[in-house]
Structure 1
């Protein structure tokens, strides 16, 4: 029931997890558009029933305001990219409606209250700069136009109104700044936590859990599109000997250097993960065995040329790389990874520092 109501009000819209404030603004504007139209419609009904008489000129303005409010909601619903044009359009028609009330409903001394309800909404929807501008324009406009109203406010009344508007603007300026600052800090903190949870602390590559989850998603996409994909299993040669000879700090330097080479050599659409101590895996969507072999051979050469420095020593590094490619069957990540692992062991048996394809001859 709640989900159905939300879909009616906001449409089929989705925001990323780190975009909570934008999602709040979007939903808030949808509610304001609907509420503004309904309240104005209610006042119009009261006027028709004789409960709250409104002049003909202002009735026309209110009718237009109601129509445009609901129209803007329909334009915005399900389309968050239209947020700012819709928000600014609504603010302009609100100001026009409030000015109409000042001129044509002079017998209502409380009509100025609509300007007070306007300022918080501007700060929430359009930000501090817009809020400052609208507050300044409202205060200046009321001060200069008061004498021209059919029933001007008294000097004391006008002073109270203007002082309260300035206070309200200042209050929401400070509150808005702190709220946005808090949201930004929370978003950055959540992003850091998500990064820590999904990335290897030493190499900053995807950890095993996040890597395999990403690969599963890309496999499902490839299956729908009927496109090939390949997996590289990269294992550093004699890594235990590196640790035993040069120390674990040197081994960490080697791992970070290799990780940097892997990350810099692939496309943004590829995924790279550290899945074990000295084991890495690379998922290549939309890549056949020929493309995978070319990349694997390039990676092998780049790793061989690394020679990372630890203290005054340059450490020789090589890697054995196994390749497995989808055969257009319903292959899980576990299956294709196991095939790439088997191909890597073939490379080890053939002398290390080489590339091997699973159950297939090299294409070159």
Structure 2
């Protein structure tokens, strides 16, 4: 879903992976805090100019002006740049502490100015983590305890004790809450990833199931068309697999499928897509790969399967596969059309005696793989 114009204005066009949802939350929260901090401080300046909240002659006026400008500058630097999050968050925290100390020192008529230290702690825990939160809480407590006597209007011993105890309580509360919240979030994300993996992967072999595989292929086809790069599809079908189940049992058939899936995974690139699209049928999508390259890889895979010899109860079992290869020649072709071509090439390999690679394309590979047939 595209971002609204307001969101683009506030956050820029920073993009986050679905696994970075908490980082995305922190990034957006910091942007909101920066803008809000500038606006609310500007309201205090407006109160001075309108005489509603006069601070005439106070050096704190200059501090508020500088803080407002700094918050807006940091927001401008943050927009669209998630990699800048950490140093901008720390820069803003330092600016906040200086602003609160300025209010404490130069606005003695405001007895509640110390509340800014309390509002600061939750934000630090959320944006910068538990260690930073504990450090800022400790710094605030120590600063108030030893700096109170230097104020022109120091807090009473009872008032100071209440402030310190309340700050420590708030720090401990958010430390525990932050720890449990992050733990809960991590468990929820792990559970979501597990469910997503279960929904998109074949439970026996661990490769993508048909639905997820074809969805990934359609996405890569769009990318290939955008960049004008070729792509090919391999259709791998195990030879005489039904006889394996009939003679040795389904457990042996499962062992064969797992062994073949493992061999296929190790034979392809991380940019390729592998899916189990039928009982003993696998499909491999090869982006940025022309027909000669696909034929060469298919022959490597065929040899690898032939040499697998998975061990079952009765001993090592010799298996083989017939592989059909299709290259996309028409940029308007869908994945289903390309897959049908690879499927037809695989059946041609079966008719030619099995345990071979075949392509219906008239184009020959640059290096004809041993055992391959290009019809």
TM-score (norm 1): 0.97
Q: Say if 1:228 and 1:328, in contact at 8 Å, map to a contact too.
A: no
1:189 is aligned to 191
Q: Say if 2:58 and 2:107, in contact at 8 Å, map to a contact too.
A: no
1:19 is aligned to 20
Q: Does 1:71 align with 2:50?
A: no
2:372 is aligned to none
Closer, same or farther in 2 for the Cα pair 1:315/1:218, shift >3 Å?
same
RMSD: 1.4
Question: In structure 2, what is the Cα distance between the partners aligned to 1:163 and 1:239?
Answer: 74
* Correspondent of 1:355 among 354, 357, 360: 357
Secondary structure of the structure 2 residue equivalent to 1:15: coil
Question: In structure 2, what is the Cα distance between the partners aligned to 1:183 and 1:53?
Answer: 46
> Which deviates further from its counterpart, 41-50 or 352-361?
352-361
2:98 is aligned to 96
Q: Say if 1:356 and 1:362, in contact at 8 Å, map to a contact too.
A: no
Secondary structure of the structure 2 residue equivalent to 1:317: coil
Secondary structure of the structure 1 residue equivalent to 2:113: coil
1:35 is aligned to 36
1:308 is aligned to 310
Displacement of 1:273 in angstroms is 0.4
1:241 is aligned to 243
Q: Say if 2:205 and 2:261, in contact at 8 Å, map to a contact too.
A: yes
Write the mapping of 1:1-364 to structure 2, written as runs, cut at 5 A.
3-54=4-55, 55-360=57-362, 362-363=364-365, 364=368
Question: In structure 1, what is the Cα distance between the partners aligned to 2:363 and 2:118?
Answer: 77
Closer, same or farther in 2 for the Cα pair 1:332/1:2, shift >3 Å?
closer
Which runs of at least 4 in structure 1 moved beyond 3 Å after TM superposition? none
Structure 1: gaps spanning 5 or more residues: none
Q: Say if 2:309 and 2:317, in contact at 8 Å, map to a contact too.
A: yes
Displacement of 1:328 in angstroms is 4.6
Displacement of 1:14 in angstroms is 3.1
Question: In structure 1, what is the Cα distance between the partners aligned to 2:138 and 2:84?
Answer: 26
Question: In structure 2, what is the Cα distance between the partners aligned to 1:262 and 1:181?
Answer: 37
Displacement of 1:12 in angstroms is 2.2
Question: C-alpha offsets along residues 92-123 of structure 1, whole Å, 9 cap, x if unaligned?
Answer: 00001001111111221111110000000000
> Which deviates further from its counterpart, 327-336 or 186-195?
327-336
Secondary structure of the structure 1 residue equivalent to 2:59: helix
Q: Say if 1:300 and 1:353, in contact at 8 Å, map to a contact too.
A: yes
Secondary structure of the structure 2 residue equivalent to 1:18: helix
Question: C-alpha offsets along residues 337-356 of structure 1, whole Å, 9 cap, x if unaligned?
Answer: 10000110111011100001
Displacement of 1:31 in angstroms is 1.0
Displacement of 1:248 in angstroms is 0.2
Q: Say if 2:10 and 2:31, in contact at 8 Å, map to a contact too.
A: yes
Question: In structure 2, what is the Cα distance between the partners aligned to 1:221 and 1:361?
Answer: 24
Secondary structure of the structure 2 residue equivalent to 1:111: helix
Closer, same or farther in 2 for the Cα pair 1:335/1:2, shift >3 Å?
closer
Q: Say if 2:125 and 2:133, in contact at 8 Å, map to a contact too.
A: yes
Question: In structure 2, what is the Cα distance between the partners aligned to 1:345 and 1:303?
Answer: 18
TM-score (norm 2): 0.94
